[in-house]
Structure 1
Amino acid sequence: MNFLAHLYLSGNNTDLMIGNFIADHIRGNKFSHYHEEIQKGIFLHREIDTFTDTHHIVRKSKRRLHERYGHYDGIIIDIFYDHFLARNWNTYSQIPLNTYVKSVYKLLQDNYNILPEKTQEILPFLTKYNWLYNYQFANGIQEVLNGMNKRTKGKSQMNLASEDLLVHYQLLENDFTLFFEDLRKFCDSKINPTT
């Protein structure tokens, strides 16, 4: 899953959200200096990634793209799934998306000094271009895909993936809807193990 989903799946726990957001920029087990709840967020992020990568529906989504994008198919599906989450946000949250992302940006800015260097580097772009909010729009997804393609020096051709999104839109949205229900239950069991 991508940024928006990781944040959403942390519930209302702000430390969990921080940990879940920064986890990709933490190497190995070098996070003992963080507060216990932030550490839990890092673990949760990793559990979400494992659950996602091994889920049969996600694998089906990846197969729709694999021939064209090879091992980049998973990154693209993560972005597409964030698109569907943003597009259908009102199904999953009573807080308007614009309000939610503003609170996330404020949370990250307020905790800037404890963020890993790589997270600090992307934060200005995240906020300036309002990535989390713009995931719901075709041009927002295109910007993200263009950026990812540049990071791979054009090898991934991820900038073309918006074409595939249009071709497979309904199938991919159905995949997301079914998978995300499983993922939400999984995360709830991790965050609230007694319920």
Structure 2
Amino acid sequence: MRRFERPFRRYGAVLTDVFYDHFLAAGWCGHCAEAPPLGEFVSGFYESVEAVRESVPAQAWEVLEHMRRADWLGSYATVTGIEMTLRRMSRRLRRPFDLAAAVEVLEKEYEGFREDFEAFFPEVRKECLIA
């Protein structure tokens, strides 16, 4: 979170999480070589959600359906997709705040965030017992 200055510092953990989603999606083949390409993986996820539709509450289903139609997961691979994600998140905050403006921080510190992610992700894999 040291990369975030005011006014973004308060949301640093959330922004880092979203930024790391970007680096995972953008470098999918390098991080998940045994998995299918990102597009196929995401399609498989959406199909698996469809398979349990009857057990998903209606309100959650609406969100999942919108997520599928707009391909939220696939969109994480682009900075534009991250910006759209942050705009959606901003609408859910109790106090108005433009999280999408933090894309400037991502673009300015892109290599630093990427290096942080590259150092962090192997630890995540190890904790999840993923080789």
* Normalised TM-score (structure 2): 0.88
Partner of 1:11: none
1:145-186 Cα offsets, whole Å, 9 max, x none, are 111111126633202011110011000000011101111101
Say how many residue pairs are matched: 129
Partner of 1:185: 126
Partner of 1:146: 87
* Normalised TM-score (structure 1): 0.61
Q: CA RMSD in A?
A: 2.0
8 Å Cα contact 1:69/1:156 also seen in 2 = no
CA–CA distance in structure 2, aligned partners of residues 147 and 100 of structure 1: 23
- Where structure 1 has 5 or more consecutive residues not aligned to the other structure, the ranges are 1-61, 190-194
CA–CA distance in structure 2, aligned partners of residues 73 and 162 of structure 1: 12
Larger RCO (CA within 8 A; separation ≥ 6): 2
Counterpart pick for 1:134 among 75, 99, 115 = 75
Identity of aligned residues (%): 29
Q: Which runs of 4+ in 1 moved over 6 A?
A: none
Q: Does 1:69 align with 2:8?
A: yes
- Where structure 2 has 5 or more consecutive residues not aligned to the other structure, the ranges are none
CA–CA distance in structure 2, aligned partners of residues 167 and 118 of structure 1: 37
- Which of 78-87 and 105-114 deviates more? 105-114
Q: What is the one-letter code of the residue matched to 2:4?
A: L
